[in-house]
Amino acid sequence: MVTAEVIAKAQLIIKKKGSQKISALLPTFNCQASVKSTLDSIKWADEIIVIDSFSNDDTIKIASEYGAKVYQHEYINSAKQKNWAIQHCSNQWIFQIDSDETLEEKAEEIIRNAINNAGENTHCFKMPRKNHVLGKWVKYGGLYPDWEYRLFRKEYGKWWDREVHSRITVSGEIGMLDTPLIHHGMPNISKQLSNIDRYTRYEADELAKRNITFSFLKWIFGPLFIFLKRYIFLQGFRDGWRGFFLALYASFYIFLSHTKLLEIKLLQLDRSPK
């Protein structure tokens, strides 16, 4: 027989589940051109936390117009920046989004349903990401579903201490969100070419930190393998010239990263120079 006490406890559990709130975490730096679209897509969050790396454009002004709480912190790498930001999020669940990403309109309902029905051992949710290159979604070459781990419990999640391309790590179960991130990471070629110098510098630093030594074979054959993998085996050719460009870009990323690793050794440096 179901007692009044059991019913009351069940109602309390449902109430607690329904009252869970979300902090949206947004790292920024001189992104006035794109950040408004990002903020528009997360304005439903219970709070927006912006961690800014001392922008000198209108980024902070735009964020403030959306009621975001803005904190500034010196940028070392993406993982350290976001791990530092977690302490400023006041809610149990945190959703992290980048300034060149947006969500679809249905995302709020899906995200809130996910956290309200999450088991105690579910610490994180992953979601697919649609990468747009010069205005078009690329579906092949390993760029979809491109799973991203972005929604997590504050007490359990943190970013893996990596110089570049870090990811949230948790000890519990990982659920899945049926809504994508929309990534406008390559609005033009010039932006992508400026990114590769910075990202390969971080990649070389990561290789050096892990005591990986320069290998002539990896330097020569690594880029070739990556190109064939992305363009042929992962069917990047189905994305037309974008697929060819992205496969070539990925191979050059490997080549340049290992070249900078060699530079660190030859010049006896602690880190790859800017």
Please state whether beta strands 22-28 and 47-52 pair in parallel, antiparallel, or not at all (unpaired).
parallel
Q: By three-state DSSP, how is residue 272 classified? A: coil
Residue 12 has pLDDT above 50, yes or no: no
Say if residue 22 is in the same domain as residue 137.
yes
Stretch 121-142: mean pLDDT, rounded?
97
Residue 272 counted as domain residue: no
Listed in sequence order, the DSSP H helices in the chain are: 4-18, 35-42, 59-65, 78-85, 107-116, 189-209, 216-228, 240-266
CATH number, domain with residue 155: 3.90.550.10
Say if residue 169 is in the same domain as residue 197.
no
Which of 132, 159, 185 is the last residue in one of the domains?
185
Q: Does residue 9 or residue 136 have the better pLDDT?
A: 136
Q: Which of 31, 91, 26 is nearest to 55 (CA)?
A: 31
Residue 106 has pLDDT above 90, yes or no: yes
- What pTM, to 2 d.p., does this model score? 0.90
Q: Which of 59, 13, 53 is nearest to 36 (CA)?
A: 59
Residue 16 has pLDDT above 50, yes or no: no
Which range marks the domain in which residue 58 is found? Answer: 4-185
Which of 134, 160, 185 is the last residue in one of the domains?
185
Please write the tens of the pLDDT for every residue from 143-157: 999 999 999 999 999
Say if residue 168 is in the same domain as residue 237.
no
Residue 202 counted as domain residue: yes
Say if residue 58 is in the same domain as residue 153.
yes
Say if residue 138 is in the same domain as residue 209.
no
pLDDT for residue 5: 61
- Per-residue pLDDT band for 100 (boundaries 50, 70, 90) equals very high
- Per-residue pLDDT band for 107 (boundaries 50, 70, 90) equals very high
Stretch 116-140: mean pLDDT, rounded?
97
Say if residue 141 is in the same domain as residue 68.
yes
Which of 157, 185, 213 is the last residue in one of the domains?
185
Say if residue 262 is in the same domain as residue 241.
yes
Q: By three-state DSSP, how is residue 144 classified? A: coil
